């Protein structure tokens, strides 16, 4: 009997161990399975480490994507590039554009049940300014915020600037009382790293210790409830297009946010899968140094523009995940002038090259070879220039090295291939950084372009409260920039998002790209 | 009456035919690789640098035996042109570290006890450092290019040659006839040229032959990591880098340079072993 009893005990221990092991394997392999319990779940594949939940770092798209489900901003942009309400129901720009008055919604609750007040907005903005990291770089002209009453806030600026509206679309509002309870000695950074204090459609539930998964659950008291949101969203770290493609096909993720153009082709006509592309908020550009060296010659710059095979790039390098350019700013921005799309014309390129007076010209272009698409574009341009008799040397350069070169026109490369994009679709952001004399002085200009008329148009637009006048000025500035041929606008990128059969609605988000988690919807069937 | 050159060639051919089939394949492969590397640019059917983007990613066909790459360039043409760069660069690297190694080993052998001790400890340090990491750092510091890769690999590869040659030279120096020559007052230079280097030559030729094969792979690795050849140079490792994102969709862009590197490195390695066996440095195995 003893023997039998011990055998049974041993067997039961083995069975228990096997049961636990199987359970652990199931947990590891399929987190959605054990979480299901009748709840709807969507899993989003995201590249790179899920570093932090702190909205201070929402300038990094990985953090921004996570925050888009957990938090809200005062205002945001719609897909047409118009500023629309979110936590603020109304706002008024002062006539001298030095302050903005916001009226807050009265029905907003944070995830702990406390109501949104003006103090939360003031605390968030002051904390962002105080810490001076991440999104604080967008609050350049921010002076102070004042709570007028519980639901009215005034934001004052140090100088007139309409860019503040765009910047506020990147500032997620914190529950000030909750953060202050956990403020520690670092202004709540350690706590907000792995906790949240938001009012978004989802509340944070848990992250795996190695932060490869972040799980969030639908917030029942969300101020903007809509049918079709999943009960649970899991953001799962998954690096690389091939891995995300396989996982999407296998059903272990429902949304893939990093799929290479060639892998996208395999999903395009496959039943159950949807490929979404939004308006591009960026592209690849070759910026010229227009102050020093041979590229100071406008005929040469135009010759270089005509030499590039734009259509070949779109068809065979972007493979449908990009579009032809028609100006210096990407399609997501408002106030763009109408113009012809870029087109290769070798005869015209040779004619302009002859007019420039250069012969047997050797040029150097910096580029970052770690981006496969950029690498291919650099080689294509090199070959195209060879066809018109220009020898282009490609110089591998990391992004920090490139930033160091921007310090002065003397150190600026004669040509630099870069991926450039806007954090939010206000035309003033890219224009003021790339094409003004002030940017040269700040060591930030990519072109060393100095044109008093363009300076005046951009500065005038930034400080003008009238949206129509502002738009007109931005448009004229872009026409000057286009005529002066400051860059070869190779292509606009339209990163695709691919979703599986469980997903009903998805769109590329122009502010929190690739996706705003609160916009994810389940398929209706 | 046949000329002396013809007689010599006939002798070489007879020697070749006396070899086993395996040896003939190895030697034949090496000869073909060298010939293609020397005349590759003349044999290439297309311009290896010009993008023809409309024909990007064409699979192998009669027009493009090895297909085309992302830029629409003929992969075979790039392999042929790149062969010259890869093979000649590897030979240059081996020559560079051989030169440094010979100088160090000779100085150590003839320079007296203290010089020997210092130089051999330096060799020990060199051997202890991971060569690839050292070469990677040097090439990155010099700026990415084929020239930087050659210098970096040349400067990081010499300790093995120095150690091998020092051992061979020490054995020769211990021979009674060398002692006798010293007693007779034969100058050091004459000793080196007539007795010491010739005795070490066979060991080194075997080693350097095998090194060419290894160096082709290492050079390709540096290019693959971005510190070697730069676009549009069709060096074999750089071709692998360019093709690395398309293994699933255009396998030929990756397979062709990968197979070429493998076959070439393998052939040079086996040639080294063949020479080693013929010189009796190792017992011939069951192979």
Asked whether A164 and A176 are in contact (CB, 8 A), the reply is no
Which has more confidence, A263 or A178?
A178
How far is Cα B71 from Cα B58, in angstroms, rounded to an integer? 10
Helix, coil or strand: residue A84: strand
A14 touches chain B (CB under 8 A): no
**Among B71, B144, B248, beta carbon nearest to A379:** B71
- When pLDDT is averaged across residues B159-174 and rounded to a whole number, the result is 88
Does the domain at residues B62-278 carry the CATH identifier 1.10.3720.10?
yes
- What are B196-233's pLDDT values in tens digits? 888 888 788 888 888 998 999 999 999 888 888 888 99
Mutation for B interface: A316, A321, A346, A394, most B CBs within 10 A:
A316
CB contact under 8 A, B71 and A380: yes
Cβ-contact B136, B227 below 8 angstroms: yes
> A72-177, what's its fold?
Dipeptide-binding Protein; domain 1 (3.90.76)
R_g over Cα of chain B: 22
Lowest mean pLDDT among A298-307, A311-320, A352-361, B252-261: A311-320
Between B7 and A43, where is the model more confident?
Answer: A43
How many inter-chain contacts (A to B, CB under 8 Å) are there? Answer: 57
Choose the closest CB to B230 out of A262, A316, A394.
A394
Which residues of chain A lie closer than 8 angstroms to B242, CB-CB?
A: 375, 379
Q: Does B47 touch chain A (CB under 8 A)?
A: no
Per-residue pLDDT of A367-415, as tens digits, reads 998 888 899 999 999 999 999 999 999 999 988 999 999 999 999 999 9
Residue A69 φ then ψ, to 5°: -90, -30
Of the candidates B53, B242, B248, the beta carbon closest to that of A309 is on B53
Query: Quick one: pLDDT at residue A209?
Result: 59
- Which tens digit of pLDDT belongs to each residue from A187-240? 999 999 999 999 999 999 987 756 688 999 999 999 999 999 999 999 999 988
Q: Looking at the predicted structure, is the pLDDT value of residue B150 above 80? A: yes
| Interface residue of B223, B231, B250, B253 to substitute, partner A, most A CBs within 10 Å | B231
In this structure, what token pair is assigned to residue A90? Answer: 């109304």
Is A28 a residue whose pLDDT tops 60?
no
CA distance B101 to chain A (A): 33
Cβ–Cβ below 8 Å for B51 and A313: no
Superfamily covering domain A36-70+200-278+494-525 = Periplasmic binding protein-like II (3.40.190.10)
Do A382 and B232 make contact, defined as CB atoms within 8 angstroms?
yes
ipTM field: 0.75
Q: Report domain extents, chain A.
A: 36-70+200-278+494-525, 72-177, 282-493
Q: Which run of H or of E encompasses B200?
A: helix B197-224
Provide the CATH topology of domain A282-493: Dipeptide-binding Protein; domain 3 (3.10.105)
Predicted local confidence at residue B283, as pLDDT: 47
Report the alpha-carbon distance of residue A219 to residue A199 in Å, rounded: 8
Q: What does the pLDDT average to over B160-180?
A: 86
Up-side HSE of residue B247: CA atoms within 13 Å toward CB? 9
Determine contact: B273 vs chain A, CB below 8 A.
no
A508 pLDDT exceeds 90?
Answer: no
Q: What is the mean pLDDT of residues B154-163?
A: 90
User: Is residue A91 within 8 Å of A103, Cβ to Cβ?
Assistant: yes
CA dist A369 and B229 (Å) reads 12
Determine the average pLDDT of the residues in A66-91: 93
Q: Give residue B280's pLDDT.
A: 60
Q: Mind listing the pLDDT tens digit for each residue in B236-245?
A: 999 998 888 7
E strand or H helix that includes residue A220: none
Tokens of A197: 């204090």
Cβ separation B226–A370 shorter than 8 A = yes
pLDDT of residue A525: 60
pLDDT recorded at residue B19:
77
Q: What is d(CA A361, CA A477) in angstroms, rounded to the nearest whole number?
A: 31
Tokens 């459609």 correspond to: A201
Length of chain B: 287
Percent of all residues in chain B with a pLDDT value above 90, rounded to a whole number:
46
Element (H, E) at A83: strand A83-85
Section A287-292 average pLDDT: 96
Q: pLDDT tier at A54 (50, 70, 90 boundaries)?
A: very high
User: What is the rounded CA–CA span in Å between residue B276 and residue B205?
Assistant: 9
What's residue B52's pLDDT?
93
Is pLDDT above 90 for A483?
yes
Cα–Cα distance, A439 to A502 (Å, whole number): 47
Q: How confident is the model at residue A75 (pLDDT cuts 50, 70, 90)?
A: very high
Judging contacts by C-beta atoms under 8 Å, the chain B residues touching residue A372 are 245
Please report the pLDDT score of residue A367 as a whole number: 95
Give residue A12's pLDDT.
46
**Rounded to the nearest 5°, which phi and psi values hold at A217?**
-115, 150
The residue of chain B with its CA nearest to that of A241 is B245
Cβ pair A309:B51 closer than 8 A: yes
Backbone angles phi, psi at A489, to 5 degrees: -90, 95
Q: What is the pLDDT of residues A85-112, one digit of tens each?
A: 999 999 999 999 999 999 999 999 999 9
- Comparing CB atoms, the residue among A372, A380, A387 nearest residue B53 is A380
Average pLDDT, chain B: 87
**Residue A37 has what pLDDT?**
63
What integer pLDDT is reported at residue B14 of this predicted model? 76
How many residues comprise chain A?
525
Specify the DSSP element, H or E, that contains B126: helix B113-128
Alpha carbons B19 and A504: distance in angstroms, whole number = 71
Q: Residue A387: its pLDDT value, please?
A: 95
Rounded to a whole number of angstroms, the distance from the CA of A440 to the nearest CA of chain B is: 28
Rg from Cα positions in chain A: 26
């Amino acid at each position: 009997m003893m023997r039998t009893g011990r055998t049974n005990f041993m067997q039961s221990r083995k069975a228990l161990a096997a049961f636990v092991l199987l359970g652990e394997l199931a947990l590891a392999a399929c987190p959605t399975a054990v979480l299901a319990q009748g709840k709807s779940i969507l899993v989003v594949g995201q590249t790179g480490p899920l570093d932090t939940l702190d909205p201070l770092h929402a300038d990094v798209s990985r953090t921004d994507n996570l925050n888009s489900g957990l938090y809200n901003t005062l205002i945001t942009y719609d897909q047409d590039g118009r500023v629309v309400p979110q936590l603020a129901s109304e706002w008024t720009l002062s006539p001298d554009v030095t302050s903005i008055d916001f009226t807050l919604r009265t029905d907003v609750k944070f995830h702990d049940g406390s109501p949104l007040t003006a103090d939360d907005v003031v605390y968030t903005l002051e904390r962002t300014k105080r810490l001076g990291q991440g999104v604080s770089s967008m609050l350049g002209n921010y002076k102070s915020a004042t709570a007028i009453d519980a639901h009215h806030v005034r934001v004052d600026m140090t100088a007139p600037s309409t860019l503040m509206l765009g910047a506020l679309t990147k500032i997620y509002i914190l529950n000030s009382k909750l953060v202050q309870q956990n403020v520690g000695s670092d202004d709540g950074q350690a706590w907000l790293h792995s906790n949240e204090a938001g009012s978004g459609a989802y509340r944070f539930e848990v992250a795996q210790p190695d932060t490869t998964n972040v799980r969030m659950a639908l917030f029942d008291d969300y101020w903007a409830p809509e049918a079709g949101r999943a009960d649970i969203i899991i953001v799962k770290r998954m690096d690389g297009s091939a891995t995300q493609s396989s996982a999407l096909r296998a059903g272990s993720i429902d949304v893939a946010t990093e799929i290479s153009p060639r892998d996208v082709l395999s999903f395009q006509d496959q039943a159950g899968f949807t490929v979404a592309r939004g308006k591009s908020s960026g592209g690849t550009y070759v910026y010229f140094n227009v102050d020093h060296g041979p590229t100071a010659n406008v005929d040469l710059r135009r010759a270089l523009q005509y030499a590039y095979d734009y259509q070949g790039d779109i068809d065979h390098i972007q493979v449908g995940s990009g579009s032809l350019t028609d100006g210096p700013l990407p399609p997501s921005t408002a106030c763009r002038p109408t113009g012809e799309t870029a087109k290769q014309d070798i005869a015209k390129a040779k004619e302009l090259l002859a007019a420039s007076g250069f012969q047997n010209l050797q040029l150097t272009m910096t580029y970052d070879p770690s981006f496969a698409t950029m690498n291919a574009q650099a080689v294509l341009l090199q070959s195209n220039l060879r066809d018109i008799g220009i020898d282009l040397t490609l110089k591998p350069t990391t992004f920090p090295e490139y930033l160091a070169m921007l310090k002065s026109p003397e150190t600026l490369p004669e040509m630099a291939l870069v991926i450039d994009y806007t954090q939010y679709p206000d035309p003033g952001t890219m224009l003021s950084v790339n094409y003004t004399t002030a940017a040269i002085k700040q060591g930030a200009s990519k072109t060393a372009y100095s044109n008093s008329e363009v300076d005046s148009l951009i500065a005038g637009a930034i400080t003008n409260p009238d949206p129509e006048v502002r738009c007109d000025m931005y448009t004229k500035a872009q026409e000057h920039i286009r005529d002066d041929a400051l860059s070869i606008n190779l292509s606009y990128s339209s990163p695709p998002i691919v979703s599986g059969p469980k997903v009903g609605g998805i769109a590329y988000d122009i502010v929190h790209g690739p996706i705003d988690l609160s916009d994810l919807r389940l398929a209706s069937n | 009456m046949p000329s002396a050159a013809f007689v010599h060639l006939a002798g070489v051919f007879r020697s070749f035919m006396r070899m086993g089939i395996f040896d003939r394949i190895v030697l034949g492969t090496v000869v073909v690789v060298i010939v293609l590397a020397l005349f590759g640019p003349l044999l290439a059917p297309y311009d290896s640098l010009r993008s023809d983007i409309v024909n990007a990613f064409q699979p192998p066909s009669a027009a493009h035996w090895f297909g085309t790459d992302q830029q629409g360039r003929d992969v075979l043409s790039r392999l042929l042109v790149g062969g010259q760069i890869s093979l000649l660069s590897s030979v240059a690297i081996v020559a560079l570290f051989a030169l440094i190694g010979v100088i160090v080993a000779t100085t150590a052998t003839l320079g007296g006890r203290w010089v020997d001790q210092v130089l051999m400890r330096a060799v020990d340090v060199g051997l202890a450092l991971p060569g690839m990491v050292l070469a990677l750092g040097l090439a990155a510091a010099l700026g990415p290019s084929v020239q930087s890769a050659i210098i970096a690999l040349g400067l990081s590869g010499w300790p093995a040659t120095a150690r091998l040659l020092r051992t061979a030279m020490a054995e020769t120096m211990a021979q009674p006839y060398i002692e006798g020559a010293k007693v007779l007052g034969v100058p050091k230079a004459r000793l080196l040229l007539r007795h010491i280097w010739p005795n070490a030559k066979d060991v080194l030729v075997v080693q350097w032959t095998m090194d060419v094969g290894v160096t082709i792979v290492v050079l390709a690795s540096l290019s693959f990591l971005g510190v070697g050849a730069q676009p549009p140079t069709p060096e074999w490792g750089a071709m692998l880098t360019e093709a690395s994102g398309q293994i699933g969709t255009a396998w030929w862009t990756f397979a062709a340079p990968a197979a070429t590197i493998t076959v070439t490195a393998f052939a040079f390695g086996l040639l080294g072993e063949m020479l080693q066996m013929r010189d009796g440095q190792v017992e011939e195995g069951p192979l």
